[in-house]
């Protein structure tokens, strides 16, 4: 077609100049038109939304940056209070400047704060290394064990010339990370056992597993935490006392175990039956079949929902506030109890939200990427 | 699995082997493991019970639910039924259950509406709207609910007092004492109207079914909406008019240090409701979005090719298929919302957890108190599950 029209221009018809692509079908103008102004209704919607967003953003920037106070001398918060009551209120970030060490590390001895800080860095590094697929080998378990021991040494001290710090003085972000990491590290094997038990052919074991999962999933985490704080001491023989953090940790593990078990069971069910039958036909024992054939495939299927459950538990560890354990949120809430700083909760909560958001957002993005990567072979 | 196969060998039961008392027999091993594990579980439970009994004796704590009949003496701020500090613990706990239900039911309804709107907005062709909805979902889901509740509660406490209350719409006042709304001066006529509305709902349902049956016979679709409009709006209006057409509205007014009259929403309830609704809506939005995306594009195109109107396509073709995907995860969100309402204890709203916690602190009856909390939540969870499972089986795809 094209060479005909190029080669022979019919007499009388002037040769057409090479035309520009029409401006309204490609390029930014067309994109705007298609996505923001495609109809009267859409145009109105866009304008109204844009108006509100711009107004809100200007208000927020005014409050958070332009009018804000960043530091005050010696807990003198009158300037902050005056600013709050004025016509152009601003944030009092001085509360963060003053209290950030307390919010992050609680009542840990001040001059030893480098230790919990290093623990937070170690935890974060551990998460990042575990997230990389090229490190998914058995050596990773060794890395975990070594890191967790190092974290214990750093927090407690008492060896290698480190000052001993009793567990009652721990607090802040390390507690949140400890609760969620140890919670998941112990809940995960438990969840796998329960999920296998729930699909077992032995009726007694199946009933036990179903009862455990349904009981735990039917009640709120708070009731389990209450149980850990007031009932566990009654359960144990006289004279044996487990400290509060460990009791809460046990409650979190039991709770996480039930939810993770359901996710894992989803993976076990989604696996084609032929895999089970093929393994049986090869004459593998139950544990060989489960360990080498079923679990590697089933867990791979449920990695994205597993990460989503992890995010949920990371957030849920904040509930220990209710039984008075000093995690990040409790530290934040306590930091504004002092009369001088009362009434600056919004600033403190916003700052804490940023920390939680950073961890959860990273995990959720990672889960989305991983899902896309693992499903790449399915997309044609 | 395939019972429909014609191969007769499929139906033949495998020959039954006699049980040999040998480790090589799979069934013997199964019995051994089950006995072992059940035995361990029973032993552990027995050990815990023994310890508990011993500890209770040592600490002189009486067991049993006798304390329920004693005078509670705990003040409760808001209650749906008559309650004074002189009432019994049983009554106090009932108030707690009702308060939990109050926030859970209203929260579920609001979260479903908000979540559906946001889920649809995220699929909008308008880029700005879709991005705003996506940002909302991402931010709300990545911050702990407890933190959000504390944040909302602090925001409410930071509001001006009743004298400088915010007044966004005439008659609506928002202050650090909570929200005040104008409310109907309730009279007999209103009760009549409400009754007529319920009757109208039933009538619409019956009428709709009858029309559907007649459509099945002659294939002619009959519009239901004119009659439904009459039943749902006309009937209550008529009943209200017969009841004397009362039109008094009670407006809140500032008297002394606080507002009087109108409907009052306490700051604790308001913060809890806002927190639960906005948080759960973020999750419901994702479920709704996934449900709509799960309906294959060919379904839209095929319905349009049949000449159906867009509204009918959405209602009769897309929605029934999307609902099948939406309902099961939605059920777990409703359960989550109900269980999350227990976080009320952190901001001082007196739900069942808060009241049971006070009770167990006052009486020292920890086991009974926690058992009550668990029982209440198990009952609510099971009821919601049963209802949603029934609804799910109703709309589920009936396959051959």
| DSSP letter for each residue of A342-368 | TT-HHHHHHHHHHHHHHHHHHHHHHHH
Nearest residue in B to A348, CA atom: B151
**Strands B263-265 and B178-181, bridge-based pairing:** antiparallel
CA distance readout (Å), A187 to A229, B123, B327, B381: 19, 37, 28, 23
How many angstroms separate the CA atoms of A187 and A258, rounded?
Answer: 8
Indicate the SS3 state at residue B244.
coil
- Kindly report, residue by residue over B303-329, the tens digit of the pLDDT: 989 998 877 888 888 888 888 888 888
Q: How many CA atoms lie within 13 A of B218 on its CB side?
A: 6
Q: Give the integer Cα–Cα distance in Å for B243 and B321.
A: 44
Is the pLDDT confidence value at B283 over 80?
yes
pLDDT over 90, % of chain B: 23
Residues 6+ apart with CB under 8 A from A61: none
Q: pLDDT class for B134, splitting at 50, 70, 90?
A: very high
d(CA A88, CA A65): 12
CB A328 within 8 A of CB B156: no
> What letter would DSSP give residue B20?
P
Give the gap in angstroms from C-alpha B128 to the nearest C-alpha of chain A. Answer: 7
By CB atoms closer than 10 A (0-12, 13-18, 19+), residue B152 is buried
> Residue B140 in contact with residue B119, Cβ under 8 Å?
no
A222/B343 Cβ within 8 A? yes
CB burial class (10 A; 0-12, 13-18, 19+) of residue B127?
A: middle
**Contact assignment for B151 to A345 by CB distance below 8 Å:** yes
Token look-up 């990491």 returns A181
Phi-psi region of B262 (alpha: psi -120 to 50; beta: other; left: phi over 0): left
Residue of A nearest to B41 (CA): A208
| 3 state DSSP class of A376 | helix
Interface of B with A in 15-54 (CB under 8 A): 30, 33-34, 37-38, 41, 48, 51-52, 54
Q: Can you give the length of chain B in residues?
A: 400
B149: three-class secondary structure by DSSP? helix
The Cα–Cα gap between B351 and B395 comes to 34
Q: What is the mean pLDDT of residues B362-374?
A: 85
pLDDT band, residue B259 (cuts 50/70/90): confident
pTM: 0.84
Q: What is the pLDDT of residue A10?
A: 53
A202, A319, A361: residue with CB nearest B138: A361
Contacts of A329 in chain B (CB under 8 A): 144, 146-147, 150
Q: Positive or negative CA dihedral for B208, B209, B213, B216?
A: positive
Q: Who's near A105: CB < 8 A, 6+ residues apart?
A: A113, A116, A117, A171, A172, A173, A174, A331
Q: What is the mean pLDDT of residues B256-282?
A: 85
**CB-based contact (8 Å) between A241 and chain B?**
no
Q: Of B153 and B20, which is predicted with more confidence?
A: B153
Residue with tokens 């989604």, as numbered in its chain:
A270
Residue A48 to residue A52: CA distance in whole angstroms: 6
Q: In chain A, what residues touch B378 (CB-CB under 8 Å)?
A: 215, 218-219
Residue located via tokens 């989803």: A266
Is B339 in CB contact (< 8 Å) with chain A? yes
Q: Write out pLDDT tens, residues A109-123.
A: 888 888 888 999 999
The per-residue pLDDT of chain B, averaged, comes to: 84
Chain A partners within 8 Å of B128 (Cβ): 36, 45-46, 49-50, 53
Residues 6+ apart with CB under 8 A from B346: A321, A322, B146, B149, B150
Would you call A205 and B41 a contact, using CB atoms and an 8 Å cutoff?
Answer: no
DSSP single-letter state for residue B252: P
> How far is C-alpha A276 from the geometric centre of its chain's CA atoms?
34
The closest of B347, B350, B340 to B278, measured between CA atoms, is B340
CB atoms closer than 10 angstroms to residue B321: 17
How is B255-298 classified by DSSP, letter by letter?
A: ETTEEESSEEE-HHHHHHHHHHHHHHHHHHHHHHHHHHHHS-HH
Q: Smallest Cβ distance to A36: which of B127, B144, B377? A: B127
Q: Which helix (H) or strand (E) holds B37?
A: helix B26-59
Cα B360–chain centre separation? 27
Cα separation, A70 vs A351, whole angstroms: 13
Q: Select from B79, B37, B265, B289 the least CA-distant residue to B172.
A: B265
Burial of B394 (0-12, 13-18, 19+ CB in 10 A): exposed
Helix ranges (DSSP H) in chain A: 2-7, 27-35, 40-61, 78-85, 94-105, 114-131, 139-156, 173-198, 203-218, 221-226, 232-235, 244-270, 273-281, 286-288, 295-301, 303-316, 328-335, 345-374
Residue B155's pLDDT is what? 86
Q: Tell me what pLDDT residue A352 has.
A: 92
Does residue B362 have a pLDDT over 60? Answer: yes
**pLDDT of res. A1:** 43
Which of A220, A318, A322 faces B147 most closely, judged by CB atoms?
Answer: A318
The pairing of strands B253-255 and B249-250 is unpaired
Give the pLDDT of residue A2: 46
Mean pLDDT over B138-150 rounds to 92
Mean pLDDT of B233-241: 85
DSSP assignments along B51-109, one per residue: HHHHHHHHHT---SSGGGGSB-----S--SS---TTSBHHHHHHHHHHHHHHHHHHHHH
Chain B residues inside the 8 Å CB shell of A230? 360, 366, 370
For residue A195, give the nearest of A312, A280, A281, A305 by alpha carbon: A305
**Minimal CA separation from A108 to chain B, in Å:** 23
Return the pLDDT at B272.
93
- The alpha carbon of residue B232 is apart from the nearest alpha carbon of chain A, in Å, by 30
Contact A356 B147 (CB under 8 A): yes
Q: Which two three-digit tokens encode residue B216?
A: 């099945």
Question: Distance between CA atoms of A326 and B335, rounded to whole angstroms?
Answer: 28
Residues within 8 A of B (CB atoms), A 329-358 only = 329, 333, 343, 345-346, 349-350, 352-353, 356-357
Measured between alpha carbons, how far is residue B235 from residues B125, B206, B211 in Å?
A: 40, 15, 20
For residue B316, what are its two tokens?
């009769």
Q: CA nearest A290: which of A271, A305, A262?
A: A271
Bridge partners, residue A69, by sequence: A92
pLDDT tens, position by position, B39-74: 999 999 999 888 888 888 887 777 777 777 777 777
Q: What is the pLDDT of residue B318?
A: 85
Shortest alpha-carbon distance between residue A62 and chain B (Å): 18
Nearest CB neighbour to A204, from listed B34, B353, B378:
B34
Nearest Cα to Cα of residue A172 among A225, A119, A223, A126: A119
Question: What parts of chain A have a pLDDT lower than 70?
Answer: 1-15, 21-25, 377-380
Can you tell me the distance from the alpha carbon of B340 to that of A315, in angstroms, rounded to the nearest whole number? 12
Residue B328: both structure tokens together: 């099961």
Tokens 């963060």 locate to: A96
pLDDT of residue B8: 61
B343 touches chain A (CB under 8 A): yes
């Amino acid at each position: 077609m094209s060479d005909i029209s190029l080669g022979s221009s019919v007499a009388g018809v002037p040769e057409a100049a090479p035309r520009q692509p029409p401006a309204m079908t490609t390029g930014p103008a067309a994109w705007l038109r298609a996505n923001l102004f495609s109809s009267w209704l859409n145009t109105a919607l866009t304008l109204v939304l844009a108006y509100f967003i711009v107004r809100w953003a200007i208000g927020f920037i005014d409050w958070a940056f332009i009018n804000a106070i960043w530091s005050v001398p010696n807990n003198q918060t009158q300037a902050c209070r005056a600013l709050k009551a004025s016509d152009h209120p601003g944030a009092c970030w001085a509360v963060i400047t003053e209290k950030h060490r307390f919010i992050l590390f609680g009542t840990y001895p001040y001059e030893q704060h480098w230790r919990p800080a290093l623990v937070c860095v170690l935890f974060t590094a551990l998460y990042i290394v575990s997230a990389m697929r090229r490190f998914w080998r058995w050596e990773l378990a060794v890395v975990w064990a070594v890191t967790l021991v190092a974290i214990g040494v750093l927090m407690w001290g008492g060896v290698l010339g480190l000052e001993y710090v009793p567990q009652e003085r721990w607090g802040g972000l390390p507690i949140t990370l400890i609760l969620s990491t140890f919670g998941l590290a112990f809940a995960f094997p438990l969840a796998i056992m329960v999920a296998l038990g729930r699909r077992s052919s032995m009726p007694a074991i199946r009933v036990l597993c179903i009862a455990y999962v349904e009981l735990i999933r039917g009640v709120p985490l708070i009731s389990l935490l209450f149980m850990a704080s007031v009932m566990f001491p009654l359960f144990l023989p006289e004279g044996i006392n487990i400290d509060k953090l460990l009791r809460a940790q046990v409650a979190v593990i039991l709770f996480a175990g039930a939810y993770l078990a359901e996710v894992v069971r989803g993976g076990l069910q989604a696996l084609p039956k032929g895999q089970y039958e093929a393994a049986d036909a090869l004459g593998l024992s139950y544990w060989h079949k489960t360990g080498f054939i079923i679990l590697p495939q089933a867990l791979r299927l449920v990695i994205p929902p597993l990460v989503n459950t992890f995010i949920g538990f990371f957030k849920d560890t904040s509930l220990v506030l209710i039984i008075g354990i000093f995690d990040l949120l409790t530290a934040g809430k306590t930091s504004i109890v002092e009369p001088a700083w009362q009434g600056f909760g919004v600033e403190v909560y916003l700052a804490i939200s940023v920390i939680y958001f950073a961890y959860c957002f990273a995990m959720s993005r990672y889960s989305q990427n991983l899902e896309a990567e693992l499903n790449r072979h399915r997309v044609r | 699995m395939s019972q429909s196969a014609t191969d007769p060998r499929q139906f033949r039961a495998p020959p039954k082997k006699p049980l040999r008392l040998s480790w090589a027999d799979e069934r013997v091993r199964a019995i051994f493991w089950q006995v072992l594990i059940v035995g361990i579980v029973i032993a552990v439970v027995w050990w815990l019970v023994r310890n508990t009994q011993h500890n209770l004796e040592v600490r002189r704590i009486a067991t049993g639910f006798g304390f329920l009949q004693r005078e509670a003496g705990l003040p409760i701020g808001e209650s749906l039924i008559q309650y004074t500090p002189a009432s019994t613990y049983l009554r106090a706990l009932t108030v707690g259950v009702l308060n939990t239900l109050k926030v859970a039911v209203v929260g579920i309804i609001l979260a479903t509406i908000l979540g559906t709107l946001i889920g649809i907005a995220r699929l909008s062709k308008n880029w700005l709207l879709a991005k705003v909805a996506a940002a909302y979902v991402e931010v709300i889901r990545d911050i702990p609910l407890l933190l959000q509740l504390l944040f909302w509660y602090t925001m409410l406490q930071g509001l001006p007092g009743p004298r400088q209350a915010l007044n966004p719409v005439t008659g609506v006042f928002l202050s650090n004492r909570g929200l005040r709304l104008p409310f109907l001066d309730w009279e007999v006529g209103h009760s009549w109207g409400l009754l007529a509305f319920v009757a109208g709902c039933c009538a619409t349902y019956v009428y709709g079914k009858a029309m559907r049956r007649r459509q099945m016979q002659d294939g002619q679709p009959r519009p239901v909406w004119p009659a439904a409009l009459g039943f749902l709006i006309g009937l209550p209006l008529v009943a209200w008019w017969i009841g004397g057409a009362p039109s008094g509205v009670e407006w809140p007014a500032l008297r002394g240090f606080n507002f009087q009259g109108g409907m009052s929403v306490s700051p604790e309830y308001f913060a809890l409701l806002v927190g639960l609704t906005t948080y759960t809506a973020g999750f419901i939005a994702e479920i709704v979005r996934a449900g709509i995306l799960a309906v294959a594009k060919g379904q839209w195109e095929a319905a349009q090719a049949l000449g159906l109107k867009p509204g009918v396509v959405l209602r009769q073709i897309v929605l029934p298929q999307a609902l099948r995907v939406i309902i099961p995860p939605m059920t777990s969100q409703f359960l989550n919302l109900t269980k999350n309402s227990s976080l009320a204890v952190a901001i001082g709203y007196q739900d069942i957890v808060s009241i049971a916690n006070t009770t167990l602190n006052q009486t020292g009856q920890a086991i009974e108190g926690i058992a009550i909390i668990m029982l209440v939540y198990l009952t609510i969870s099971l009821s919601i599950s049963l209802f949603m499972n029934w609804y799910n089986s109703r709309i589920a795809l009936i396959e051959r």
